[in-house]
Amino acid sequence: MDKKVKRIALLSGGGDCPGLNAVIRSITKTAILKYGYEVIGYVFGYRGLYTNNYIELTVDKVENIYKEGGTILYSSNKDNLFDYLVEDEHGNKVKKDVSDVGVENLKKAGVDVLVVLGGDGTLTSARDFSRKGVKVIGVPKTMDNDLSSTDLTYGFISASSVGTEFIDRLNTTAKSHHRVICCELMGRDAGWIALYSGLAGNASCILIPEIPFTIENIVKHVALRDQQGYPYTVVAVAEGAKYADGTKVIGKIVEDSPDPIRYSGLAAKVADDLEKAIPNHEVRSVNPGHIIRGGDIAPYDRILSIRFGVKACELIDQGLFGNVVTLRGETMGYTSLEEVIGDAKIGKQKRVDPQGELVQAAKAMGVCFGDE
Ligand code: F6P
């Protein structure tokens, strides 16, 4: 048991995600009220750690952010202190390992434990700080729900709830005009958000990265719905889904980013292709983009965020540093940072199983995934 902890610091890195504020709140309140720690928060993630820019967190400051999307600590998805852009003595921009500055700043601020809220990029740096001897606790963050080490992360249910509302709303307008409407949903290379939003919102066609699709199969599905008396179709399109010939739509490649591929535009392409192939229906596409990431968080995520935050404090109290909070079944637990980083690598992420119960249930209900 480590009884010497007096002051902890939080930072959030990577893209924001619904529930981050609620986790900041639960850690701050539990740390202060239950364990008597002081709490500070670095602003703009690791950049704040480098520039020593932090705020004191108090119960009063966090009390009312329980349902607010985003992060009051702000976030940056670029600043890796182990490979950080600085100016050299000639004024040239160069990448350098400035992690020692971070370690020094933690000491200067009297921080005993650093709690890092982030996805794989942010947690990779957390692991590297842990390897340098910093006492670190990780709290995973991905609304894409693609981390194998935990069954669920806060943010996924909120994003899928907003996605569901989009599909609900598109169904009524698609029905009125007998249209086909394709709706693009975030989620990177995992189809969870599109699958949950599509199923809950009654999209009759769902395209996900795990199940390659063809336009011909979607055309067949639309024709079948016509025959069945449903002359409209809403297609939930995961941004990272791919055609059976391997075609994907990439909006932009962003150099100098931990996630260089920025997906955008697949729903528009699918709609274009369908328009050519289905002359008897008008086709439209929408891309809600970041809208599913913003706004208030779902009640389920508010509670999940409390559980992740309280567990993080418990790990600090028990001196279990170098670990990440996880949820397995109904039980909060933890896994080492080393293992979580390994699990976040391409190929080890948690993906939708095309043979799994959920996809099979959807197929039993007549949902088309574009593969048959
Ligand atoms: O990982 C979360 C996520 O929202 C993805 O679903 C999406 O592809 C990506 O981030 C968007 O990133 P950015 O906010 O950098 O555009």
Closest residue (by CA) to atom 15 of ligand 1?
Answer: 15
Kindly state the helix (H) or strand (E) to which residue 346 belongs, with its residue range.
none
- Cα–Cα dist 340/333, whole Å: 13
What is the predicted pLDDT for the residue at 258?
Answer: 73
Q: pLDDT for 167-212, tens place per residue? A: 999 999 999 999 999 999 999 999 999 999 999 999 999 999 999 9
310/64 Cα distance (integer angstroms): 17
Q: CA 217 to CA 256: how far, in whole Å?
A: 38
CB atoms within 10 A of CB 325: 29
Q: Which residues line ligand 1 (CB under 6 A)?
A: 15, 77, 142-144, 186-188, 239, 262-263, 293
Cα Rg for the chain, rounded, in angstroms? 22
CA angle 13, 124, 331 (to 5 degrees): 80
All domains of the chain in start order, with CATH: 7-154+297-345 (3.40.50.450), 161-294 (3.40.50.460)
Instruction: Give every CB contact of residue 243 below 8 A, 6+ residues apart in sequence.
Output: 212, 213, 214, 215
Per residue in 286-345, pLDDT (tens digit) is 999 999 999 999 999 999 999 999 999 999 999 999 999 999 999 999 999 999 988 767
Question: At residue 266, what is the residue type?
Answer: L
Mean pLDDT to the nearest integer, 122-148: 95
Alpha carbon of residue 278 to chain centroid: 35
* Res. 54 pLDDT band, cuts 50 70 90: very high
Distance 284 CA to ligand 1 centre (A): 23
Instruction: List b or e across 116-141, with b for residues whose CB sees 16 or more CB atoms inside 10 angstroms.
Output: bbbbbbbbbbbbbbbeeebbbbbbbb
**pLDDT at residue number 259:** 79
Would you place residue 256 in the very low, low, confident or very high pLDDT band (cuts 50, 70, 90)?
confident
The verdict on whether 144 is a catalytic residue reads yes
Q: Which strands, in side-by-side order, build the sheet including 283-286?
A: 205-207, 233-238, 180-185, 283-286
- CA 257 to ligand 1: nearest atom: 15
- Residue 322 Cα to ligand 1 middle (Å): 26
How many angstroms does the Cα of residue 201 sit away from the middle of ligand 1? 22
Query: Positive or negative CA dihedral for 199, 200, 202, 208?
Result: negative
Distance 29 CA to ligand 1 centre (A): 29
Closest ligand 1 atom to Cα of 240 = 8
Atom of ligand 1 nearest to the CA of 239: 8
Nearest-CA residue for atom 8 of ligand 1: 188
Dihedral sign, Cα of residue 218, residue 353, residue 304, residue 133? negative
DSSP-assigned states of every residue in 20-82: HHHHHHHHHHIIIIIT--EEEEETTTHHHHHHT-EEEE-HHHHTT-TT--S-TT---SS--TT
Residue ID of nearest Cα to ligand 1 atom 4: 186
Closest residue by CA, ligand 1 atom 14: 15
Instruction: Indicate which residue of 79, 144, 273, 301 is catalytic.
Output: 144
Give the CA distances from residue 297 to residues 20, 70, 331, in Å, rounded to whole numbers and listed in that order. 10, 9, 22
pTM of the model: 0.95
**17 C-alpha to ligand 1 centroid (Å):** 9
Cα–Cα distance between 11 and 19 in angstroms, integer?
14
Q: How many CB atoms lie within 10 A of CB 198?
A: 30
